[in-house]
Amino acid sequence: MVGRSLVGLIERAGIIILTDTTAWIMPIDSSVTVYQRIHPAWGERGKRRSRDSGCGVSFIGASLGSSIRMQPPPVLPRVRSVFDPRKVAAMRSLKLAALNAQVMLTSPFRRARIRKAAAEGTAPISVSFYHRVADTCANDWTISRERFLRHIDYCKSRFEMISLAEVQRRVRSQQSHNAAMSITFDDGYRDNCEFALPLLIQRGIPCTYFVTTCNVRGQMPFPHDVKSGEPLAVNTVQQIRELSDAGVEIGCHTRQHVDFSKVHDQATVRDEVVRAKSELEQMIGREVRYFAFPFGLPAQLTQAAIEAVSEAGFDGFCSAYGAYNLVGRDWFHIRRFHGDPEFARLKNWLSIDPRKVRQEPEVRYFLPPAMSFKETFPMMGRTTPLFAH
């Protein structure tokens, strides 16, 4: 039987691989970005090596004759460069299998923690985001119909499916007594109207659908699709109206899918936020309550853009860097994670991975007339959120 100390070690670090002389801790579902945060000494050289090779795999070793330390050793983690595509695929399969094993080993303890939190009214709330559901033109932002259906079946059977407004209410009131989640989409791909959205509507599952107004009105494919050689069709204005009429919450995703980390003039910021909201409301004939940042990483969540979101009258904004919504925290900022096509990663997110909580970047901002984050959200709550331990 696996003891609590071993489970804690697996939760914090990964799967342990034993050899004759060494115990290796294999980080699960991690990336070079995470290692850059954990091991600042890695530096740019390590990042370049991993990016050039297409595979960044690292192992932290400890002698079996000594205890396994959670702090990194003074030497740099080794990066193994793998150029053979078959080896890259094999390593990916190994990491997914290891992640599956991790979730299976720790799931009883994770479920117990969630039950305890629910009884105390502090159950974490998950919000996932997708882009495109289709069986054609596969890419990194597309999930197949079969896999999406599996996601929905799994989530519907285990979680209370709620709207973004209910997510905010529970976080703000500090009353979350059920395991719950919300579904969102970004960009506005026409393929979503063929399977994914009809499925959600038929099953009565709340959904927020974020669209970029210029792409929809001008029927222009997204630049990232054009660059990849697949200019995929976007939703029409008529489709967006019909979705709104069917009960889908339509949200704003800027006018032109702008990267706010590269925007430095206030006029452009207002155009992409305030004007985008007005255009979308005219398009559907209803109020638009939510805004999702394109790319959604901390770099894009600029003070100027968040101020514009508040000024425009949005009820909240969504990020996309991967995090949970915990009670007593910033309710205006809705944290989301990717609805990963690999089911193991989705299950890991939904079972509340404590490492994800500990590694969440801090996003601070203020909304005038306040002059600080503390003044903006006096009911912020804990500095170290629950589930981080």
State residue 275's pLDDT score: 98
Q: Encode pLDDT of 278-314 as tens digits.
A: 999 999 999 999 999 999 999 999 999 999 999 999 9
Residue 7: how many other CB atoms lie within 10 Å: 16
Percent of the chain whose pLDDT exceeds 90: 65
In angstroms, what CA-CA distances link 8 with 12, 16, 208, 226, 354?
A: 6, 12, 36, 45, 10
Q: Is the pLDDT of residue 34 over 60?
A: no
Nearest C-alpha neighbor of 195 from the set 149, 129, 239, 142: 149
Place of tokens 């390590």: 46
Nearest C-alpha neighbor of 349 from the set 364, 367, 330, 336: 336
Residue 291: how many other CB atoms lie within 10 Å: 27
Domain spans, the chain: 1-69+80-119, 122-376
- Distance in angstroms (rounded) separating the CA atoms of residues 296 and 293: 5
State residue 77's pLDDT score: 54
Q: How confident is the model at residue 248 (pLDDT cuts 50, 70, 90)?
A: very high
Q: Is the pLDDT of residue 38 over 70?
A: no
In angstroms, what CA-CA distances link 285 with 132, 168, 190, 243, 278?
A: 25, 24, 20, 12, 10
Q: Domain 122-376 carries which CATH code?
A: 3.20.20.370
State residue 25's pLDDT score: 46
Conformation bin of residue 344: beta by default, left when phi > 0, alpha when psi is -120 to 50: alpha
- Distance in angstroms (rounded) separating the CA atoms of residues 340 and 346: 6
State residue 378's pLDDT score: 63
The stretch 235-262 carries a mean pLDDT of 98
Nearest C-alpha neighbor of 238 from the set 285, 290, 273: 285
The stretch 19-42 carries a mean pLDDT of 38
Contact, 387 vs 125, CB < 8 A? no
Share the mean pLDDT of the chain.
Answer: 82
Q: Encode pLDDT of 323-363 as tens digits.
A: 999 998 999 999 999 999 999 999 999 999 999 999 999 99
Please state the pTM of the whole predicted model. 0.78
Greater model confidence, 173 or 46: 173
